[in-house]
Protein backbone atom coordinates (compact mmCIF):
# COMPACT_ATOMS: atom_id res chain seq x y z
CA UNK A 1 0.00 0.00 0.00
CA UNK A 2 2.82 2.43 0.86
CA UNK A 3 5.35 1.12 -1.68
CA UNK A 4 3.74 2.71 -4.74
CA UNK A 5 3.87 6.11 -3.01
CA UNK A 6 7.33 5.60 -1.51
CA UNK A 7 8.97 4.87 -4.88
CA UNK A 8 8.29 8.25 -6.53
CA UNK A 9 9.18 9.96 -3.23
CA UNK A 10 12.61 8.26 -3.17
CA UNK A 11 13.21 9.34 -6.78
CA UNK A 12 12.22 12.93 -6.00
CA UNK A 13 14.45 13.00 -2.90
CA UNK A 14 17.42 11.75 -4.97
CA UNK A 15 16.82 14.48 -7.56
CA UNK A 16 16.58 17.11 -4.85
CA UNK A 17 20.10 16.31 -3.67
CA UNK A 18 21.86 18.68 -6.04
CA UNK A 19 22.62 21.47 -3.61
CA UNK A 20 24.34 23.87 -6.00
CA UNK A 21 27.91 24.72 -6.94
CA UNK A 22 28.81 26.62 -3.79
CA UNK A 23 27.90 23.73 -1.51
CA UNK A 24 31.11 22.06 -0.24
CA UNK A 25 31.37 18.34 -1.00
CA UNK A 26 31.53 17.23 2.64
CA UNK A 27 28.43 19.29 3.51
CA UNK A 28 26.51 17.93 0.51
CA UNK A 29 27.58 14.39 1.50
CA UNK A 30 26.25 14.86 5.04
CA UNK A 31 22.97 16.33 3.76
CA UNK A 32 22.54 13.45 1.32
CA UNK A 33 23.46 10.90 3.99
CA UNK A 34 20.68 12.24 6.24
CA UNK A 35 18.02 12.84 3.61
CA UNK A 36 18.43 9.56 1.72
CA UNK A 37 18.83 7.33 4.79
CA UNK A 38 16.16 4.63 4.88
CA UNK A 39 13.30 6.30 6.77
CA UNK A 40 9.62 5.40 6.65
CA UNK A 41 8.84 8.60 4.64
CA UNK A 42 5.57 8.95 6.54
CA UNK A 43 5.36 12.72 6.19
CA UNK A 44 5.86 12.83 2.40
CA UNK A 45 3.47 9.88 2.11
CA UNK A 46 0.90 11.94 4.01
CA UNK A 47 1.35 14.79 1.50
CA UNK A 48 0.56 12.43 -1.39
CA UNK A 49 -2.28 10.66 0.46
CA UNK A 50 -3.93 13.93 1.32
CA UNK A 51 -3.78 15.09 -2.30
CA UNK A 52 -5.12 11.73 -3.43
CA UNK A 53 -8.03 11.79 -0.98
CA UNK A 54 -9.01 15.29 -2.16
CA UNK A 55 -8.63 14.42 -5.82
CA UNK A 56 -10.44 11.07 -5.57
CA UNK A 57 -13.18 12.75 -3.57
CA UNK A 58 -13.61 15.62 -6.07
CA UNK A 59 -12.78 14.07 -9.45
CA UNK A 60 -12.30 10.33 -8.89
CA UNK A 61 -8.59 10.50 -9.88
CA UNK A 62 -6.06 8.45 -7.88
CA UNK A 63 -2.45 9.63 -7.52
CA UNK A 64 -0.07 6.75 -8.27
CA UNK A 65 -0.95 6.77 -11.97
CA UNK A 66 -1.59 10.50 -12.22
CA UNK A 67 1.74 12.12 -13.07
CA UNK A 68 0.27 15.61 -13.22
CA UNK A 69 -1.08 15.43 -9.67
CA UNK A 70 2.10 13.75 -8.43
CA UNK A 71 4.27 16.54 -9.87
CA UNK A 72 1.95 19.15 -8.45
CA UNK A 73 2.32 17.97 -4.85
CA UNK A 74 5.77 16.33 -4.79
CA UNK A 75 7.59 19.60 -3.90
CA UNK A 76 5.63 19.63 -0.64
CA UNK A 77 6.58 16.00 0.02
CA UNK A 78 10.29 16.67 -0.55
CA UNK A 79 10.26 19.88 1.51
CA UNK A 80 8.61 18.28 4.53
CA UNK A 81 11.07 15.37 4.50
CA UNK A 82 13.95 17.90 4.40
CA UNK A 83 12.57 19.60 7.51
CA UNK A 84 12.12 16.20 9.18
CA UNK A 85 15.70 15.16 8.28
CA UNK A 86 17.10 18.43 9.67
CA UNK A 87 15.16 17.95 12.92
CA UNK A 88 16.46 14.39 13.31
CA UNK A 89 20.08 15.45 12.72
CA UNK A 90 19.82 18.15 15.37
CA UNK A 91 17.84 15.96 17.77
CA UNK A 92 20.65 13.37 17.69
CA UNK A 93 23.40 15.88 18.57
CA UNK A 94 25.29 15.53 21.86
CA UNK A 95 23.63 18.73 23.14
CA UNK A 96 20.19 17.18 22.60
CA UNK A 97 19.47 13.43 22.65
CA UNK A 98 23.08 12.39 22.05
CA UNK A 99 22.26 9.38 19.88
CA UNK A 100 24.79 7.31 17.93
CA UNK A 101 22.32 5.49 15.68
CA UNK A 102 19.49 6.69 13.46
CA UNK A 103 17.65 4.72 10.81
CA UNK A 104 20.01 1.81 11.47
CA UNK A 105 23.15 3.82 10.71
CA UNK A 106 25.59 6.03 12.62
CA UNK A 107 24.06 9.48 13.21
CA UNK A 108 25.35 12.37 11.11
CA UNK A 109 27.65 13.77 13.84
CA UNK A 110 29.19 10.30 14.28
CA UNK A 111 29.62 9.60 10.57
CA UNK A 112 30.92 13.12 9.83
CA UNK A 113 31.52 15.49 12.77
CA UNK A 114 29.45 17.69 15.03
CA UNK A 115 29.97 20.96 13.19
CA UNK A 116 29.12 19.35 9.86
CA UNK A 117 25.98 17.82 11.38
CA UNK A 118 24.80 21.20 12.70
CA UNK A 119 25.45 22.82 9.33
CA UNK A 120 23.81 19.97 7.38
CA UNK A 121 20.67 20.44 9.50
CA UNK A 122 20.73 24.21 9.02
CA UNK A 123 21.19 23.82 5.27
CA UNK A 124 18.42 21.22 4.88
CA UNK A 125 16.02 23.56 6.61
CA UNK A 126 16.78 26.36 4.14
CA UNK A 127 16.78 23.91 1.19
CA UNK A 128 13.22 22.88 2.08
CA UNK A 129 11.95 26.39 1.41
CA UNK A 130 14.24 26.86 -1.59
CA UNK A 131 12.84 23.61 -3.03
CA UNK A 132 9.27 24.90 -2.68
CA UNK A 133 10.24 28.23 -4.28
CA UNK A 134 11.87 26.50 -7.25
CA UNK A 135 9.15 23.91 -7.87
CA UNK A 136 5.78 25.48 -7.03
CA UNK A 137 5.01 27.89 -9.85
CA UNK A 138 1.58 29.14 -8.71
CA UNK A 139 2.37 32.11 -6.40
CA UNK A 140 -0.77 31.64 -4.29
CA UNK A 141 0.00 27.95 -3.66
CA UNK A 142 3.65 28.77 -3.02
CA UNK A 143 2.78 31.38 -0.39
CA UNK A 144 0.37 28.94 1.28
CA UNK A 145 2.93 26.10 1.25
CA UNK A 146 5.71 28.30 2.69
CA UNK A 147 3.36 29.58 5.37
CA UNK A 148 2.20 26.06 6.36
CA UNK A 149 5.70 24.59 6.51
CA UNK A 150 7.39 27.55 8.22
CA UNK A 151 4.66 27.63 10.86
CA UNK A 152 5.10 23.89 11.59
CA UNK A 153 8.88 24.30 11.85
CA UNK A 154 8.65 27.44 13.97
CA UNK A 155 9.44 28.37 17.56
CA UNK A 156 5.83 27.79 18.55
CA UNK A 157 5.68 24.31 16.99
CA UNK A 158 8.60 21.97 16.13
CA UNK A 159 11.39 23.97 17.77
CA UNK A 160 9.30 25.10 20.74
CA UNK A 161 8.08 21.56 21.39
CA UNK A 162 11.65 20.32 21.32
CA UNK A 163 12.79 23.13 23.64
CA UNK A 164 10.09 22.31 26.20
CA UNK A 165 10.82 18.59 25.90
CA UNK A 166 14.51 19.19 26.68
CA UNK A 167 13.63 21.59 29.48
CA UNK A 168 11.29 19.06 31.09
CA UNK A 169 14.12 16.53 31.00
CA UNK A 170 16.70 18.92 32.43
CA UNK A 171 14.38 20.19 35.14
CA UNK A 172 13.88 16.59 36.31
CA UNK A 173 10.12 17.08 36.05
CA UNK A 174 8.88 19.39 38.73
CA UNK A 175 5.24 18.59 39.51
CA UNK A 176 4.09 21.51 37.31
CA UNK A 177 5.24 19.75 34.14
CA UNK A 178 4.39 16.16 35.07
CA UNK A 179 0.97 16.19 33.47
CA UNK A 180 -0.51 14.46 30.47
CA UNK A 181 -1.78 17.84 29.21
CA UNK A 182 1.74 19.24 29.22
CA UNK A 183 3.13 16.16 27.49
CA UNK A 184 0.38 16.43 24.88
CA UNK A 185 1.21 20.10 24.30
CA UNK A 186 4.86 19.17 23.72
CA UNK A 187 4.03 16.39 21.29
CA UNK A 188 1.40 18.31 19.37
CA UNK A 189 4.14 20.86 18.67
CA UNK A 190 7.16 18.59 18.31
CA UNK A 191 5.62 15.77 16.27
CA UNK A 192 2.01 16.62 15.47
CA UNK A 193 2.67 19.95 13.75
CA UNK A 194 4.70 18.36 10.95
CA UNK A 195 2.06 15.65 10.44
CA UNK A 196 -0.62 18.34 10.17
CA UNK A 197 1.54 20.41 7.82
CA UNK A 198 2.09 17.36 5.58
CA UNK A 199 -1.63 16.76 5.12
CA UNK A 200 -2.33 20.46 4.64
CA UNK A 201 0.47 20.78 2.07
CA UNK A 202 -1.05 17.95 0.05
CA UNK A 203 -4.41 19.69 0.27
CA UNK A 204 -3.37 23.19 -0.77
CA UNK A 205 -1.10 21.95 -3.55
CA UNK A 206 -3.94 19.87 -5.00
CA UNK A 207 -6.66 22.57 -4.91
CA UNK A 208 -8.61 21.09 -1.99
CA UNK A 209 -11.82 22.69 -0.80
CA UNK A 210 -12.10 24.31 2.66
CA UNK A 211 -14.18 21.37 3.89
CA UNK A 212 -11.60 18.87 2.70
CA UNK A 213 -8.84 20.84 4.44
CA UNK A 214 -10.70 20.89 7.74
CA UNK A 215 -11.48 17.15 7.61
CA UNK A 216 -7.78 16.53 6.98
CA UNK A 217 -6.83 18.85 9.86
CA UNK A 218 -9.02 16.78 12.21
CA UNK A 219 -7.53 13.53 10.93
CA UNK A 220 -3.99 14.94 11.27
CA UNK A 221 -4.48 16.17 14.79
CA UNK A 222 -5.48 12.72 16.08
CA UNK A 223 -3.01 10.82 13.89
CA UNK A 224 0.00 12.95 14.91
CA UNK A 225 -0.62 12.48 18.60
CA UNK A 226 -1.34 8.77 18.16
CA UNK A 227 1.98 8.40 16.32
CA UNK A 228 3.80 9.88 19.31
CA UNK A 229 1.90 7.80 21.89
CA UNK A 230 2.78 4.66 19.89
CA UNK A 231 6.40 5.85 19.62
CA UNK A 232 6.60 6.22 23.40
CA UNK A 233 4.90 2.85 23.85
CA UNK A 234 7.35 1.11 21.51
CA UNK A 235 10.31 2.71 23.29
CA UNK A 236 8.87 1.77 26.68
CA UNK A 237 8.22 -1.84 25.83
CA UNK A 238 11.33 -2.36 23.69
CA UNK A 239 13.97 -4.69 24.92
CA UNK A 240 16.81 -2.18 25.13
CA UNK A 241 19.41 -4.86 24.50
CA UNK A 242 17.75 -5.98 21.25
CA UNK A 243 16.16 -2.87 19.79
CA UNK A 244 18.70 -0.24 20.78
CA UNK A 245 19.51 1.86 23.77
CA UNK A 246 16.68 4.43 23.71
CA UNK A 247 14.31 2.55 26.04
CA UNK A 248 17.03 2.21 28.65
CA UNK A 249 18.17 5.76 28.10
CA UNK A 250 14.69 7.31 28.38
CA UNK A 251 14.00 5.50 31.64
CA UNK A 252 17.43 6.41 32.99
CA UNK A 253 16.87 10.10 32.20
CA UNK A 254 13.34 10.04 33.59
CA UNK A 255 12.07 11.29 30.22
CA UNK A 256 8.42 12.33 30.19
CA UNK A 257 6.48 9.74 28.17
CA UNK A 258 2.86 8.51 27.91
CA UNK A 259 3.55 5.03 29.32
CA UNK A 260 5.67 6.68 32.03
CA UNK A 261 2.74 8.89 33.07
CA UNK A 262 -0.23 6.63 32.30
CA UNK A 263 1.18 3.11 32.39
CA UNK A 264 1.67 0.97 29.28
CA UNK A 265 -1.89 -0.33 29.10
CA UNK A 266 -3.56 3.08 29.30
CA UNK A 267 -1.06 4.54 26.83
CA UNK A 268 -2.00 1.79 24.36
CA UNK A 269 -5.70 2.49 24.94
CA UNK A 270 -5.11 6.19 24.31
CA UNK A 271 -3.45 5.36 20.98
CA UNK A 272 -6.37 3.11 20.00
CA UNK A 273 -8.86 5.84 20.86
CA UNK A 274 -6.92 8.54 18.93
CA UNK A 275 -6.72 6.30 15.87
CA UNK A 276 -10.47 5.70 16.12
CA UNK A 277 -11.04 9.47 16.10
CA UNK A 278 -8.64 9.95 13.16
CA UNK A 279 -10.55 7.33 11.14
CA UNK A 280 -13.84 8.98 12.01
CA UNK A 281 -12.57 12.27 10.51
CA UNK A 282 -11.30 10.47 7.40
CA UNK A 283 -14.78 9.09 6.71
CA UNK A 284 -15.67 12.55 5.36
CA UNK A 285 -13.93 11.38 2.16
CA UNK A 286 -16.16 8.29 1.74
CA UNK A 287 -14.48 5.63 -0.45
CA UNK A 288 -11.64 8.11 -1.15
CA UNK A 289 -10.54 7.66 2.49
CA UNK A 290 -9.20 4.15 1.81
CA UNK A 291 -5.51 4.96 2.12
CA UNK A 292 -6.02 7.37 5.04
CA UNK A 293 -7.82 4.61 6.95
CA UNK A 294 -5.11 2.12 6.09
CA UNK A 295 -2.38 4.49 7.29
CA UNK A 296 -4.18 5.09 10.57
CA UNK A 297 -4.11 1.34 11.24
CA UNK A 298 -0.45 1.21 10.18
CA UNK A 299 0.47 3.93 12.72
CA UNK A 300 -1.25 1.95 15.48
CA UNK A 301 0.18 -1.42 14.51
CA UNK A 302 3.72 -0.42 13.51
CA UNK A 303 6.56 -2.13 15.30
CA UNK A 304 9.34 0.41 14.60
C1 LIG B 1 15.84 19.46 16.83
C2 LIG B 1 14.19 21.26 16.22
C3 LIG B 1 14.45 19.87 16.58
C4 LIG B 1 13.41 19.04 16.68
C5 LIG B 1 13.54 17.61 16.93
C6 LIG B 1 11.78 15.17 15.41
C7 LIG B 1 12.21 15.58 16.72
C8 LIG B 1 12.16 17.02 17.09
C9 LIG B 1 12.73 14.70 17.57
C10 LIG B 1 12.88 13.27 17.24
C11 LIG B 1 12.86 12.51 18.50
C12 LIG B 1 11.88 11.43 18.41
C13 LIG B 1 12.41 10.05 18.28
C14 LIG B 1 10.58 11.73 18.44
C15 LIG B 1 9.54 10.70 18.35
C16 LIG B 1 8.69 10.85 17.15
C17 LIG B 1 9.50 10.97 15.94
C18 LIG B 1 9.52 12.30 15.32
C19 LIG B 1 10.15 9.91 15.44
C20 LIG B 1 10.92 9.93 14.20
O21 LIG B 1 10.05 9.93 13.10
P22 LIG B 1 9.85 8.63 12.18
O23 LIG B 1 9.60 7.43 13.04
O24 LIG B 1 11.32 8.52 11.60
O25 LIG B 1 8.85 8.94 11.14
P26 LIG B 1 11.81 7.97 10.17
O27 LIG B 1 13.27 7.69 10.39
O28 LIG B 1 11.04 6.75 9.80
O29 LIG B 1 11.59 9.10 9.19
Q: What is the pLDDT of residues 95-110, one digit of tens each?
A: 999 999 999 999 999 9
Q: Out of 10, 78, 86, 91, give the residue to mutate to test ligand 1, the one with the largest number of ligand atoms within 8 Å of its CB.
A: 91
pLDDT at 55 over 80: yes
Ligand 1 centroid, distance to 30 Cα (angstroms):
18
Fold exhibited by the domain 3-301: Farnesyl Diphosphate Synthase (1.10.600)
Q: Out of 191, 226, 253, give the residue to mutate to test ligand 1, the one with the largest number of ligand atoms within 8 Å of its CB.
A: 191
| Contact assessment for residue 109 and residue 162, using Cβ atoms and an 8 Å cutoff | no
- What is residue 78's three-state secondary structure? helix
At residue 240, the pLDDT reads 43
pLDDT at 239 over 50: no
| Contact assessment for residue 120 and residue 63, using Cβ atoms and an 8 Å cutoff | no
At residue 248, the pLDDT reads 55
Mean pLDDT in residue range 182-205? 96
Rounded Cα gap, residues 34 and 120, in angstroms = 8
Rounded Cα gap, residues 168 and 150, in angstroms = 25
Q: How confident is the model at residue 236 (pLDDT cuts 50, 70, 90)?
A: confident
This complex has an ipTM of: 0.93
Bigger pLDDT: 175 vs 8: 8
Residues touching ligand 1 (Cβ under 6 Å) are 39-40, 42, 84, 87-88, 90-91, 103, 158-159, 162, 190-191, 228, 231
At residue 175, the pLDDT reads 57
What are the pLDDT digits (tens) for 62-121? 787 789 999 999 999 999 999 999 999 999 999 999 999 999 999 999 999 999 999 999
Mean pLDDT in residue range 207-223? 96
Nearest CA to ligand 1 atom 26: 39
At residue 168, the pLDDT reads 82
Amino acid sequence: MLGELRRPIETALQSACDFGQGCPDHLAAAMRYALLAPGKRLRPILVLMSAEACSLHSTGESIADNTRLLNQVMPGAVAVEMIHAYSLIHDDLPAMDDDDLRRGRPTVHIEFDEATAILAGDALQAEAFQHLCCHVSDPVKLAAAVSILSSAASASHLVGGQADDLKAENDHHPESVRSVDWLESIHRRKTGALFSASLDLGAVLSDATGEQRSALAGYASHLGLAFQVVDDYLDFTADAAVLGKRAGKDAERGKLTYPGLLGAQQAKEKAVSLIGSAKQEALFFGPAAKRLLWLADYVLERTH
